[in-house]
Amino acid sequence: MVIVLIVLFAATLVYFFLSERVSNFIWLLSVQGVILFGIAFNNLLHIQPLGLILILLETLIVKAIVIPWFLNQLRHKNELKRVHESKVPVFYSLIIISAILIGSFLLSYTIDNEIIQLRFFTVALATVIGGMYFIVIHKNIFSHLVGFLIIENGTFLLSLAVGGEMPFLVSLAVLLDVLIAVLVIGVFLNKVRDSFDTILVSKLNKLKD
């Protein structure tokens, strides 16, 4: 079951690069949250209830509901364009994301390691690289935030490979930290939009010497 969800997770990654609509980005992030919930639920049933509740909270409530809702608020408040075009044509992005997926599979294939859970590692790696690529090809800071969240989801996927064994307090701290970081970034996005009247990153160039 877990492997099916992981493949689905990888499929959402492909769709991130296919779509250019802001609403699709938000929707896909929510879907990723639900898939992560499924993986976590399947993978971590054996750990103590407190940790389980925390991880379910993190995926289902925070990743699937709170953050997408927050992004939607941001989007409406700042009257963002419905479509965010990327610098690189979608066509090439799709080729590149396929190459990233294949590359990380091949990398995992060459690794012979019994301790790490390779299937998590593979897709997590592809997601993190994909997220960075997402940030690189997009021109506005809202999409950059989306890219950051993709990276976060990738690291979370990998953390599920060990997450069950992390101390409760530590996981709680990580959860709060990430949530606060996203909220603060969102607040700053609002401020940038208010002061610069745009969210295009190319307009953020007052610092150049």
Residues 169-198 that bind other proteins (CB under 8 A): 170, 173-174, 177-178, 180-181, 184-185, 188-189, 191-192, 195-196
- Judged by CB under 8 A, the chain residues 10 through 39 that form the site for other proteins are 10-11, 14-15, 18
Residue 123 φ then ψ, to 5°: -70, -35
The whole-angstrom separation of Cα 58 and Cα 98 is 29
The CB-of-128 to other proteins minimum distance in angstroms stands at 6
- Judged by CB under 8 A, the chain residues 75 through 134 that form the site for other proteins are 89-91, 93-95, 97-98, 101-102, 105, 108-109, 111, 113-119, 121-122, 124, 128, 132
The CB-of-161 to other proteins minimum distance in angstroms stands at 6
Please say whether the beta carbons of 63 and 153 come within 8 A: yes
Sole window of 22-30, 63-71, 73-81, 164-172 interacting with other proteins (rule: CB under 8 A): 164-172
**Pick 19 or 72: Cβ nearer other proteins:** 19
The whole-angstrom separation of Cα 200 and Cα 41 is 39
Sole window of 32-40, 60-68, 70-78, 139-147 interacting with other proteins (rule: CB under 8 A): 139-147
Number of residues that bind other proteins (CB under 8 A): 72
Query: Residue from 36, 141, 143, 146 that binds other proteins (CB under 8 A)?
Result: 141
Tell me: does residue 136 bind other proteins (CB under 8 A). no
The whole-angstrom separation of Cα 123 and Cα 7 is 8
